[in-house]
């Protein structure tokens, strides 16, 4: 994050935006959303506007594990790099991120319940900037669920980026 920025209204080009994606276990939807969003930021030439892009889970069920193999597979099929290990959301995340996106209503409720007063983070459903639909957990289903989640993440990432009205940068 850029140091010394008092203003978070988006008018300063030196202010970098930080985004955190959150699902239940941080092995399917949130690492998928993180990967797709980072890819879209790069593709649109907006990397200079963003600081940290990360993901987490509301539970610690898979802490330290890599993304689910099916999440990795759908990213590879679509040319999107993915990496990282699962972690649980921390109170400090609410101070360190501008936006925290839950994948479904339960994630959003859990995040809002633990969000400290006057925290920096703005908590939303990832779909709020598009069709306001949740990203259904594909964990117990087949590959089609991961494909559907990928398509939603792609659409929601583009919709959120469009809502920010950022100018493309020549910086890499």
Could you say which of 93, 98, 104, 137 is catalytic? 137
- Residue 45 is given by DSSP the state T
Told to judge if 87 belongs to the known catalytic residues of this protein, a careful annotator would answer no
Catalytic residue among 22, 29, 70, 104: 29
Q: How far apart are CA 30 and CA 109, in angstroms?
A: 16
Asked if 93 is an active-site residue, the reply is no
Proportion of the chain in helix, strand, coil states, percent, rounded to 5: 40, 15, 45
Q: Which two tokens stand for residue 15?
A: 């202010």
Judge whether 23 counts as a catalytic residue. Answer: yes
Instruction: Given the residues 23, 28, 75, 153, select the one marked as catalytic.
Output: 23
Distance CA(172)–CA(168), nearest Å, equals 11
The residues carrying an active-site annotation are 23, 29, 137
């Amino acid at each position: 994050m850029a140091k010394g920025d008092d203003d978070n209204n988006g008018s300063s080009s030196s202010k970098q935006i930080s985004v955190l994606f959150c699902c239940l276990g941080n092995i399917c939807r949130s690492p998928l959303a993180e990967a797709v969003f980072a890819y879209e930021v790069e593709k649109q030439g907006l990397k200079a506007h963003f600081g940290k892009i990360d993901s987490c889970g509301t539970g610690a069920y898979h802490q330290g594990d890599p993304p689910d193999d099916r999440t990795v597979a759908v990213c590879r099929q679509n040319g999107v790099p993915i990496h990282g290990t699962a972690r649980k959301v921390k109170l400090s995340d609410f101070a360190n991120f501008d936006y925290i996106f839950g994948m479904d209503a339960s994630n959003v409720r859990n995040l809002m319940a633990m969000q400290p007063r006057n925290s920096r983070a703005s908590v939303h459903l990832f779909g709020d900037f598009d069709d306001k639909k949740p990203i259904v957990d594909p964990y117990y289903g087949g590959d089609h669920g991961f494909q559907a989640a990928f398509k939603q993440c792609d659409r929601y990432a583009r919709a959120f980026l469009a809502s920010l009205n950022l100018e493309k940068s020549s910086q890499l």
